[in-house]
Structure 1
Amino acid sequence: MIRKNAGISALIVACLFALATAPTLRADTIIVRGKEPITGVKVKSETFEKVVYIQKGKTKELPSAEVLDIVHDGQPKAMRLGIEYLNLGDNLNAVEQFKTVVAQASASGLPWLPEYANYYLGKANLGAGRFDAGAQALRKMIALKPDSRLVGEATVLLMRCLALSGQVKDGDDVLKKLEAAAKSPAQKLWVLEARLVAAEGLLDNGKPREAADLAKTLESESKTIKAEGADAFRARAMMLEFEAHLAARNRPKAKNVLTELKRLGRGGNSHALAADFCCRTMEILDSSPVESDLWKAVRFTGRTYIENLKAVSELPRTCYLLGLTHLRLSESRSGEKEVAKGYFEELRRRFPETREAFLARDQLKKM
């Protein structure tokens, strides 16, 4: 899911990589969003609501929404190797390591291990394009611990597996359980994220009108949520609604979405501004563009790409559209195909669990 996976800073990724490759861990480490890791602690419990830990003899707690990851003491070697492979984008080798961890988890004596092992196995299978296996592991993880700290992201990943395999309706039961468990604004945002993946699945499986209706509903619901990431979510929902209207050949409704994005962007909403530029690029690509139109599209998405720190949530779509635009330019200009390939490969590397990563994969197969 983008909020977590696209937004982690280079420092946090480096920290995760170092911890994953360390030979031993003497205590638990909590990776906190936007802050230095909390080291030398003992995690007592972790749920969808909060993480409780002991630090220097004192019991403390954090809202789970602030926790990016927990690296536990006693982490098996195969788990560390699997995480290392994931960080390198080597999903197939990661799958093999996490299979080993799953097989050993029940007898390990580590209460957190079955949950984490199945979560990572599902994530690695998704990245490897093994959607059925990914869905199976993620369902098992959710069944093992329905109130898991990871249940929001696990549900999003499960919905991605189902959407990519054309079985998005099979996730209705899990969505209902997540909706029932979500109490805080941050938790409710996870529900919207999972439902947006369902909307993407509808669009990619030939149901653009249904996708547009669902995206519009989610955009409206997101207005009532006061949580970090709500503005970014709203922009992505509107961007998907715009794309769905284009696919349904309903340009008047697409124009209405674009008008609202422009209004929000002028008001200082960087996410809406990025989505506006992406939608204008989609509009150009959906027409019969001449070369000057395509360079205009490059300027739109190029600006979003360069100014990505304030709108990282829109970067997967930005990279994909840049790739598509340069691919169209390659029909009349040499060297542009390699530029397009670079954007598609960057997308696969940086945002492996997004819809756009798999769209990029399909483009790379054709090149």
Structure 2
Amino acid sequence: MDADKPAPQRTPADVRRWRRYLAAERAEAAVYRDLASRRHGEERDILLALAAAEKRHEQHWLDLLGDDVGMPLQGDPRTRFLAFLARRFGGVFVLALAQRAESRSTYGREEHATAQMAADEQIHEEVVRSLATRGRNRLSGTFRAAVFGANDGLVSNLALVLGIGASGVATGTILVTGVAGLLAGALSMGAGEYVSVRSQRELLEASTPDPQAVRALPHLDVGSNELALVYRARGMDADAAQVRADAVLARLAATGAVEGFSDEADGAAVVPADADGGAGADAHETHGTAWGAAISSFCFFASGAIVPVLPYLLGMSGTTAVVVACVLVGVCLAVTGAVTGLLSGTSPVTRALRQLAIGFGAAGITYLLGLAFGTTLA
């Protein structure tokens, strides 16, 4: 603190609050250091820089507290849990939790925190969001198929079992129907995901520039410079495209050979990396592999679809089996919703409740239809 400024008036409540802030800053700095220890290169440097920023915030509270700093406090339960995960795992899940932790900063409303500290916390959220996005992109293809498959299995087979059970058929029939629904749905999901992802990748591959096109450069008419048309077709305006094309041909004239161009540096000379709209490796990575998506969908649909059948496999029947199946499916829906919420940086509670509402809504409608059909057949 500035020695010329008088010490701020403090109350016991202020001291307690500042000590909590101090503990939180220390815990968050430790989280970033633990995350950094599991990474290398640029990501490691970024995380260590975040830890250094939290250290500056820590010093602010130490200066305010002075002799009232007391014994070190533990961070709040959420921060301690985050630190536990960072020490042992350190993946995108932990980064998503760290993003949510940064978004909960109250420095904007804290009169004893500086405007710079409040701004730091806002920027930290964006930094962590960007780091987490890298992991989300790597996960998104297979993760989408897995979450979709598991939820589809839970909801569709619960609806099937409840609908058939409500019609009044025997327990054995319900069990056979549930197992048949599991196999049919898992195979359908796997096949559908394979075709979907494979088709998407083929569309992306069709948009990938032909690396052999670079060999046409020495034979272009420099006066008309049709290379500029390539850049314009890729989204550049006419003037920028002309400047880029002139630069490429000038480099070609200087080197005197196509081999002087690097595919990495010049984007195969014909299509630069910044003009392809993001198609290529990153887009392929985001959508995942066709087999990976198919296998994930099959396995996760089956793992979800087996849950409503478990009570019947264990010999239960009637109302008991229905209640147990609903409870098990409800727990699974809540967990998948919460995990999706955490990874997407939104409220896990909201996502869990949404999953429950959708799942039980669909199952409830099917159950009512089963009751109607059962009454009609009777």
Greater C-alpha Rg: 2
Select the structure that is richer in helix. 2
TM-score by length of 1: 0.30
More strand by share: 1
TM-score (norm 2): 0.29
